[in-house]
Structure formats: C-alpha cells, structure tokens
Amino acid sequence: MSERPTFQLDGEEVPFEPGQTVMQAALAAGRYIPHLCYHPEFTPHGSCKVCTAKINGRMMAACTTPAESATEVESNTEELNELRRTLVQMLFAEGNHFCPSCEKSGDCVLQALGYDLGVMTAGFRHLFPDRPVDASHPELLLDFNRCILCELCVRAAREVDGKHVFSLAGRGLTKHLIVNAESGRLVDTDVAVTDKAVSVCPVGVILRKRVGFATPIGERRYDHSPISAQALDDAPRPLERHHD
Amino acid sequence: MNALPESLADLEPRVRRILSRWGHDPTGLVQVLREVQEEFGCLPRPALALIARLLRIPYSRVTGVASFYSFLVVDPHGAYRVLFSDNITDRMAGSERLMEAMCHRLWVEPGKVSEDGLVSVGRTSCTGMCDQGPALLVNGRAIPALTSERVEQICELVLARTPLAEWPDEFFVVQDHVRRADILLGHGLKPGDAIRAALQRGARGWSEHAANERSWREAYVGAAQGPIATLEEIKRSNLRGRGGAGFTTGIKWEACRHATGLARYVVCNADEGEPGTFKDRVLLASHADLVFDGMTVAAYAIGAGHGFLYLRGEYRHLLDSLEATLERRREANLLGNGICGQAGFDFDIRIHVGAGSYVCGEESALIESLEGKRGVPRNRPPYPVTHGYRQQPTIVNNVETLCAAALIAVHGGDWYRSLGTLKSSGTKILSVAGDVARPGLYEYPFGVPVGQVLEDAGATSTQAVQISGPSGVCIDATEFHRRIAFEDLPTAGAFTVFNASRDMFEVARNYAQFFAHESCGFCTPCRVGTSMLVAAMDKIHAGNGTQQELREMNRLNRVLLMSAHCGLGHTACNPILDTMKRFRPAYERKLRSLDFTPAFDLDGALDRARQMTGRDDPGAHLETHP
C-alpha cells in the first residue's frame, strides 16, 4: 500500500491526492463538510462560504483551499456551525423564500442545510427584494426570488454545456443572475431543457414547467434523510471504488 | 466629451474605432466600455451588442462587466450625470446641503434622472479630494472646492445645456496642497535618474562576469550584478508596501523574478479608493516621472516587459497628462526598446482607467479588471507573483511604493533604511483632512506621533483620528502619542481628523454605507452582511435602535471576520467596532431605552400618502412621536 499524504479533519486522518482541495479529499474519504455553492462536477469558486473551516488556525473555504500534508482542519465545531447557520439565515433574508409554496421544497439544498444545521429562526430582517420572474420560455420558468447566487448554473453552462446561458450582473446587494440575450429573456437564449445548467439549480430558480409537484411533498429527497447523510452520494468516491 | 445626447447613427464606426484602439482584445473590455461611454454619454444597448459580437464574447458578459462598475451606465442617466463625493469629509464640509440645493434647483430627486432627461444627481464614494472638498464629478470630471455659488453656477450651465468642454477651466483646478515634504515629495530627481542609477549599479563588476551577460532577464548573474544588484538594494532597504498591507517589497519582487512564466508584468496600483486618501493623486499629478521611473526600475529588477498603471476612474482628469508623460519618456528612450542604451531592456507602460470600484484596489481584483472582467478578488493561493495578469508572474505595487523604489535605486538601501524606525524604514505620506486648518499632504519619516501631525496641520480640540480610512483604526485623544509605523499604527495614508463637535456615530454610519456600496457581492457574508450593518445603523440613526442592534452588529462582525472573501469584508466592521468601543455614548444616546422596539413607524407609513396628496400639515400626521 502506497503512502498517501494526509491531513487531520476534526482529529481524524484524511488521505488526499496532490491537487485535491480539502473539500474534495474530505468527501472522497466519506467525510461531510457542509457546503452550498460547491458541486463535485464543476470548478469550485468559494462564494457561499458555508464550507468555511479552520485550517491551521486560519478561516478558509474548504472547497478552494488545496489540501496540504500535516495540516489540521477543524470543521464540525460549534463556532463554525454557528457561522454556517448565520450564513444560511443571511441567504434566506436576502431573497424571497417561501418554502411552503415552493416547488423545490424538500429537494432544496438551502432548505435542507437550514434543517440540518438547526436554523430555527429568521435571524435577520428580510430584505424583500423586487425580483420579477421570467416565464418567457415555453418549457422553463426562472424565479429569481429564490436565487442564492451560487453560480452553479453559470458554471454548469460554461463547463458542461459549452454555452453561456447564465451570467452575473450588478454588484453588492444588487448582484443578480442574468441570461445571455439582448432582450434579457430566457426564451431568446440557446438554453435547452436537457442542459446541465437547467438541472443543477440547488434552489427553486430554474424550474421545468408543467411537471410541478410530481413528487408529493413528504416524499422528496431531503424528506427521507438529512443532507449531511446524502451529500456523499453526489461526490466521487475513489476510495470506495478502489475497495470494491 | 459632449454632454448632450447624440444620434447613434454612426455608432458602429465609432465603436469599431475604440475597439481597434484596444486591439479587439476582450482584456480591454473595461477600457472599451469606458471610452464608449465617454463618446456617447452612456452605454447604448446597440453598442453593447456590437462589442459582444466583435469581441466574440457573450452579450451577458459585456452587460455583466458594465453593471459591475458604478461609473458605467447602461440606461441614459441624463445628459449630465452629477455625482457628489460622499466621504465623511465631504459631508463635514457641507456636501449634503449643497446636494439638496442642487436637486432643488434642478427639480430632480437624488439618484433619479430629471423628468426632461437632462440631469441626474447622486452620490459616489470618496473621490480623493478630501483636502479640497466638497467635491463632485460631472460626467466623470472632478470639480473640487464646491461652494453654494459654484453649485448655482453649475446648475445654470446644466440648465443652459452648455457642453462640459465649455465650462470655465477654473472649475476643474485641483490643488496639490503639499504641506510637508521629505525625501519623496522633495526628491529633486530628473526623469530617468533612477533607471540610470539602477543600470550603473548593475554594471559594477559586470565586465568581470561577461559570460553571464547573455541573459540578465533570467537571473543568471551573481548577487552584485545586473538587476540582482537593484533587487538586493530594495531588499536591503526593507521597503514595505504603502498601499496598506505592508508586504515587504523586495520579497515580492524576488518571488516574481524567480517565478516561471512566459512574461512578467509590473502593475502600479493607482486605484486609490480608501476614503480619505489622496496622496497618489498628487504623486501622479506632479511626480509622474518618478512613478514611471519606479515602475521601470521594478521591470528591470524582475525582468518584466510590460507594465500597467491602473488609474482610478475618479482621477480621469490626470489621464491626458500621464499619457503625455509616457510619450515624452518614449522619445527620451526611458521606455521602449533598449532603455537607456541597455540592449535587451525593453519595457513599456499602458494606462487602464478604472470605472468606480473600490474593491479593484485589492490586487487580484485589480488584475481581473485589467483583464476586462468584473473586479472580483481571486481565490488565493496562487498569488499574483506567480499567477497574476494572464496567469503570469506579476507584481502589483502602490504608487508611493514605486516612488520609494526609485529613490532607493538612486540612493541605496542603507540610506533608505537609515530613515524611519527599525521595522518601518523610510517615510510615509499622510493625506491629512477633516477638522484641520491646513489639510493636504504631510510626509514624515516613519515613527511620527499622531499628536505631532495634528499640531503641524493645525488641529484643535480633536476628538478622534481615523487612521488609514474606514478599513484602518479610529483612535481617540488618549492615543495621540501613538506612532505612524507598521509596528504601531500602520496606514495606507489616510489621516482624517474629527473635532469635538462631530458625531462619531455618523462617521461610522458613513463608513458602513461606503462598504455596502463597494462590496463586490461575490461572497455571502460581505454581500449581505454589509447591507445588514447599514440597516442596523440606519435604524439607530432613525431613533429606533435598541441593544438588539448593537448585538446584531457584533454578530455580523464575527461572521465577516471569519468568512469574508477579502479584506473589504474583513474590515467592514472596524469603524463601527472602534467607535462603539471608544465613543459608546454616541451610540447609546440614540438608543431607545427599551430592549426591543418595533421598527415599524406608523406615522412614517403615511409618508407616501402625504407625498401623493401634497400634504404635510399636522392633520396629515399621527401623534406617535414625542
């Protein structure tokens, strides 16, 4: 057995391949670090900060920090989980999230994270932004009210679909998702219903029309078990494959 | 620049001309957009589509970039776009009152375009005229030293639709206000002196090692020769970055020189955005050759062939003279190929102008902007010294740092190190403004006590000094013995003075608004947190604050410190925490005595109805306020 470099995650050894980030190595080793804008299939960019961990005493985003030998990573601590709760509360306060009427309820990563982290209250005054929906496309609906600016659709379009359907505009609190059309409407883009970008939205922004509530609430993904128990399913697990 | 709306009939040839000036290269996108706006007064949508098509980039990337920079406007913003500098020093000098007067005279609401489409009046972050405020920008051109009379004159010119080019020259005169000069502001060097000194230093012992001459760019020569000799002097000087972070310049340069890449770049960071700072404005206005000498010495030391000066948009008025200086230097063989006769020493400088974004002062965001993108700070590592502009080794240095490097090239590292303190060698230029008799630039050797600066600037009954702007520290009178130095009070240069009559709560509120306005929005904690800070401060300001707001701000501070993506977020709470600690009564006297008070204001809710009916009589108010 070849000696692989390792780091400590909450006191336990995690092996890694050179070039892996802390997040990639942790997930591959079957260890969960809460995350939102990270997705194993796309380039990590570290904007949501939910995966913030204490790496050798410094607060870093686990999804963008390269794994290094003999480093000490703290993730599952009350301090960091409190931070994550606050970040999730901020995202809820920033947009217009009404879970009971949302088609994504039960399949929503933001909602699932909130439950899993134990977010019990709003925590902040809601900002109630004015974000009109885009229903121009015959097959797809864009409800920007729920956008958390994770850029997963932006990255999926660019890296997988080879398109530029989604992009970001504005800055600060006015930062928002736009589509690549002079009209500003989705129907005038080259989006296809089969695009990766369409299926990757972790919240209820990009929705297929006429298939709403096909799966009843109560039988959806995160209704069965919490996100921490399922996130590993999405991640590549070279270790386990190796053992098979 | 013509202030009046123009036909878009010949839009295509005019946009094409600008694009070809920037080589049809998407990395020039910010510059192309800026020049298109100068040409047309705003960014016409057909022009954006044309740019996207000709640069072969998505339309959404063009609009994404355009909407990031606050000076770029896609929709017509009036033939005249007036932006009042909104630094606390401008407010202290009466900018709010002047803005109100202008809005009243022009019949326009703040932030909106007048009904006839003629003019808009809004606010912008500090424009770097704190020594001669209040100041404003009209269509990007700076007008300092505003008075009621000047505002009235401006209104008349706007109403008469006088093109900006025909406005009186005296409106646009910017003073230098150098109050105390030391080795830098009184350098006495001629253009090229520093470059010639660096080349001479490198030539010593050069002939003995002729075999190594073949490539000084590749660092084959020994420690005493060629560029290495200059690098050693910079290291010996212990010069540290003047932009705020204080990284050791010699180490940065050496790391860049040793990094492998296809090309190396020198970037001069003239995006002087920290509210209260204006030293770089003066250095670029009156010592541009020293700045360019410093950049060229840096290029020699690290082996760079290209340099950029990133000039903040607020300093657009300096662009023409800077370009002229560059042209003179090319003619004098101080730029171009074989500089000063040294075969193989090829270097040139291009100026990029920013478009209203404080975060672009962060070096990796600045590089993103140089590459024609949204100015969002990158993930680090890797750092710019190995992966900077176009992913090549790049040094980014402050204007003042590069000036100091030029001095060191001439006088040597030991000379420089003999000035200042043990850990902070050399001098520092302070931008002194606020409640002082003589605002302006004061250059001192490091180690000067705050009290001495106050005395020299003619400050009386001083309550507080904000050192290094909102991202620095606020100190009170018990701390005026402290010294300007990296080991005590590090600073990028801002030195803003508040006398006893100032409300330190309002100072902090102004700074909180600044950070929220300038947050790039990339990361959750800063994008949302800075706005929540403003909301809490506004609630206290409105008289509805409770202990709950103080607790919430402490909580937001923890979140920002722990998880913000860059320094903007990390420091966004500093002004509030510093003033809360030192001037707590300024906060507490605004709080309701109750622990909790609903923010809902019943009488305030009727405001809209009052506006619509044009009523403001007692009968239109509820008696809910004491």
Each residue of B56-101: pLDDT tens digit?
999 999 999 999 999 999 877 889 999 999 999 999 999 999 999 9
**CATH 3.40.50.300, applies to B80-175:** no
**Fold annotation for A98-224:** Alpha-Beta Plaits (3.30.70)
Q: Which of B524, B537, B538 to mutate to test the interface with A (most CBs of A within 10 A)?
A: B524
Q: How far is CA B111 from CA B81, B83, B84, B92, B123, in A?
A: 10, 9, 11, 21, 7
**Fold annotation for A6-76:** Ubiquitin-like (UB roll) (3.10.20)
**pLDDT at residue B220 is higher than 60:** no
Q: Which of B239, B132, B222, B229 is nearest to B183 (CA)?
A: B239
Question: Would you list the DSSP string of B411-435?
Answer: H-HHHHHTSB-SSSBSEEEEEEEES
**Average pLDDT score over chain B:** 92
Task: List all residues 6 or more positions away from B333 whose beta carbon is below 8 Å from its beta carbon.
Answer: B339, B340, B341
Taking contacts as CB-CB distances below 8 angstroms, the residues of chain A near B520 are 171-172, 175
Per-domain boundaries in chain A: 6-76, 98-224
**pLDDT for res B516:** 97
Pairwise CA distance, residues B296 & B299, whole Å: 5
**pLDDT at residue B542 is higher than 80:** yes
**pLDDT for res B594:** 65
Q: Nearest CA of chain A to the CA of B572: how many Å? A: 13
Per-domain boundaries in chain B: 11-66, 80-175, 193-206+216-417, 427-502, 505-588
**pLDDT at residue B213 is higher than 80:** no
Taking each helix axis as running N to C, give the angle between helix B504-518 and helix B524-541, from 0 to 180 degrees, rounded to the nearest 10.
Answer: 150
**pLDDT for res B568:** 93
- Say yes or no: B602 contacts chain A, CB-CB below 8 A: no
**pLDDT at residue B224 is higher than 80:** no
Mean pLDDT of B416-440: 97
Whether ipTM > 0.85 holds is: yes
Q: Are A156 and A201 within 8 A, CB to CB?
A: no
Identify the sign of the CA torsion B577, B579, B582, B585. negative
- Token readout for B445 is 């050797």
Tens-digit pLDDT profile for residues B546-602: 888 999 999 999 999 999 999 999 999 999 999 999 999 999 888 876 666 666 778
Pairwise CA distance, residues B297 & B389, whole Å: 19
**pLDDT for res A234:** 75
Helix (H) or strand (E) segment spanning residue B124: strand B119-124
- Token readout for B249 is 């310049």
Pairwise CA distance, residues B606 & B621, whole Å: 8
Q: Which of B418, B554, B398 is nearest to B468 (CA)?
A: B398
Pairwise CA distance, residues B313 & B38, whole Å: 12
Spell B560-591 as b/e; 16+ CB within 10 A means b: bbbbbbbebbbbbbbbbbbbbebbeebbeebb
Burial class from Cβ neighbours inside 10 Å (0-12, 13-18, 19+) for residue B500 reads: exposed
Task: Please name the residues between 154 and 213 in chain A that touch chain B, using a CB distance below 8 Å.
Answer: 164, 166-175, 178-182
**pLDDT for res B471:** 93
Q: Nearest CA of chain B to the CA of A240: how many Å? A: 30
**pLDDT at residue B390 is higher than 50:** yes
Strand-strand pairing, B306-311 and B348-353: parallel
Q: Are A235 and A42 within 8 A, CB to CB?
A: no
Of A49, A171, A179, the CB nearest to B563: A49
Taking contacts as CB-CB distances below 8 angstroms, the residues of chain A near B531 are 127, 172-173
For domain B193-206+216-417, which architecture applies?
A: 3-Layer(aba) Sandwich (3.40)
Of B58, B67, B524, the CB nearest to A164: B58
Q: Which of A45, A168, A188 to mutate to test the interface with B (most CBs of B within 10 A)?
A: A168
List the CATH code of the domain at B505-588: 1.20.1440.230
Mean pLDDT of B102-110: 95
Q: Model's pTM, two decimal places?
A: 0.93
Upstream peptide bond of B134 is cis (omega within 30 degrees of 0) = yes
**pLDDT for res B216:** 47
Tens-digit pLDDT profile for residues B263-276: 999 999 999 999 99
Q: Which of B352, B144, B618, A44 is nearest to A36 (CA)?
A: A44
- Say yes or no: A64 contacts chain B, CB-CB below 8 A: yes
Amino acid at B566: C
Pairwise CA distance, residues A67 & A23, whole Å: 8
**pLDDT for res B2:** 39
Identify the sign of the CA torsion B540, B546, B549, B554. positive
**pLDDT at residue A220 is higher than 60:** yes
Of A87, A125, A170, the CB nearest to B563: A87
Question: Would you list the DSSP string of A30-56?
Answer: T-----SS--TTS-----S-TTEEEET
Q: Are A53 and A42 within 8 A, CB to CB?
A: no
Taking contacts as CB-CB distances below 8 angstroms, the residues of chain A near B559 are 83, 86-87, 90
List the CATH code of the domain at B427-502: 3.10.20.600
**pLDDT for res A244:** 36
Mean pLDDT of B498-508: 97
Q: Nearest CA of chain B to the CA of A180: how many Å? A: 5
Rg (CA), chain A: 19
Amino acid at B359: V
Tens-digit pLDDT profile for residues A20-76: 999 999 999 999 999 999 999 999 999 999 999 999 999 999 999 999 999 999 999
Mean pLDDT of B394-407: 98
Q: Are B376 and B69 within 8 A, CB to CB?
A: no
Q: Nearest CA of chain B to the CA of A153: how many Å? A: 14
Q: Which of A51, A91, A151, A171 to mutate to test the interface with B (most CBs of B within 10 A)?
A: A171
**pLDDT at residue B367 is higher than 60:** yes
The residue of chain B with its CA nearest to that of A45 is B379
